[in-house]
């Protein structure tokens, strides 16, 4: 099968003058080479396309592929992750991973929480701050946790994200509104264990790949799995495979959220425990990182004794089950 591969190369955006944090979600050449290598090893022909702009140019020029392996994060707008799949649907080209609705919904953490909560999946109580004055209406018990509503890779999450009073809430919210120019999610801080659950498959066939517990070292920025902790995970974080009762509960919540949001093929769901001993949905990443050396979903894969090719194979298998008309 001939797979087009869409992606945002971090080096391209750094060359345009964007900063390290601004480009944190974008991919390295190592990742693209690993994906293409795995597709080749699985018997497919990968064809590099690149960004949504390059995809548009090639579609208009008449280029086509059997399918597209899409990991484009996009640069602008709260629906930026939906741009490539929306364009592919307009040209009737099948693609791996979630559709435009799910990708736009999942990126907006507040909207995602509303949907999973309506489906009966537990998530911390929350509020959305659209402007500085909205902090006056936040009626949640402290401590609280703040982050931009539509960012990934831990952007905007640091030691200041946990606040214990209204003055701190107002100060941190104002700073996040200024820096990221988007609403701020405020939610009840959960003091318990944190997990990320790898998921492959779609709908009723979705299953947990594995559960990884996140633990902070003494060098970490406290309280959250933020940008600095992720970028320098070697010294700031410790990871381990979790297979205890808490991990099983985390799987149940993760799969409930995955299905409620109609995520497809592969990704991760972040779960944290409250002081009541229960697991709560934090957020979902339906376009999870696939860097072979530093991405959480890949760590989970290796903890389970599987290879990178195995992971890509499971993702592609899920896609092919959704599209039996193009199965080899």
Residues 6+ apart with CB under 8 A from 205: 318, 321
Number of neighbouring beta carbons within 10 Å of residue 78: 16
pLDDT for position 153: 62
What gap in Å lies between CA 130 and CA 244, rounded to an integer? 39
pLDDT for position 70: 98
pLDDT for position 284: 97
Task: From 72, 66, 59, select the one nearest 94 (Cα to Cα).
Answer: 66
97 DSSP 8-state letter? S
Task: From 276, 291, 326, 314, select the one nearest 95 (Cα to Cα).
Answer: 326
pLDDT for position 214: 93
Burial class (CB in 10 A: 0-12, 13-18, 19+), 118: exposed
Q: What is the pTM of this model?
A: 0.94
What gap in Å lies between CA 247 and CA 255, rounded to an integer? 12
pLDDT for position 2: 97
pLDDT average per 10 residues of sequence, the chain (328 residues) = 95 86 86 98 98 97 98 91 98 98 96 98 97 96 95 82 95 95 96 97 98 85 68 82 97 98 98 97 96 95 98 98 84
Domains of the chain: 2-97 (3.40.50.20), 125-188 (3.30.1490.20), 191-325 (3.30.470.20)
pLDDT for position 161: 92
């Amino acid at each position: 099968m001939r797979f087009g591969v869409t992606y945002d190369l971090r080096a391209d955006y750094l060359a345009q003058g964007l900063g390290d944090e601004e480009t944190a979600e974008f991919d390295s050449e190592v990742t693209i080479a690993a994906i293409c290598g795995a597709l080749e090893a699985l018997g497919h022909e990968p064809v590099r396309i690149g960004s949504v702009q390059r995809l548009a140019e090639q579609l208009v020029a008449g280029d086509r592929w059997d399918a597209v392996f899409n990991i484009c994060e996009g640069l602008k707008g709260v629906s930026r992750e939906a741009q490539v799949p929306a364009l592919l649907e307009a040209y009737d080209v099948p693609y791996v991973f979630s559709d435009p609705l799910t990708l736009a919904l999942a990126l907006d953490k507040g909207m995602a929480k509303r949907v999973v909560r309506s489906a009966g999946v537990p998530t911390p109580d929350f509020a959305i701050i659209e402007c500085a004055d909205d902090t006056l209406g936040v009626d949640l018990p402290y401590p609280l946790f703040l982050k931009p509503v539509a960012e990934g890779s831990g952007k905007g999450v640091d030691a200041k994200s946990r606040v214990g009073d209204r003055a701190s809430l107002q100060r941190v919210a104002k700073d996040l509104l200024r820096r990221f120019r988007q609403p701020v999610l405020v939610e009840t801080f959960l003091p318990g264990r944190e997990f990320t659950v790898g998921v492959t498959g779609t709908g009723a066939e979705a299953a947990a790949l594995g559960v990884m517990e996140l633990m902070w070292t003494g060098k970490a920025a406290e309280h959250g799995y933020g940008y600095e902790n992720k970028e320098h995970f070697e010294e700031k974080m410790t990871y381990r495979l979790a297979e205890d009762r808490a991990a099983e509960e985390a799987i149940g919540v993760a799969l409930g959220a995955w299905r409620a949001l109609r995520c497809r093929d592969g990704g991760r769901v972040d779960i944290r425990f409250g002081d009541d001993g229960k697991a709560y949905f934090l957020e979902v990443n339906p376009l999870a990182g696939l860097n072979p050396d530093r991405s959480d979903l890949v760590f989970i894969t290796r903890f389970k004794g599987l290879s990178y090719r195995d992971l890509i194979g499971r993702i592609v298998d899920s896609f092919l089950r959704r599209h039996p008309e193009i199965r080899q």
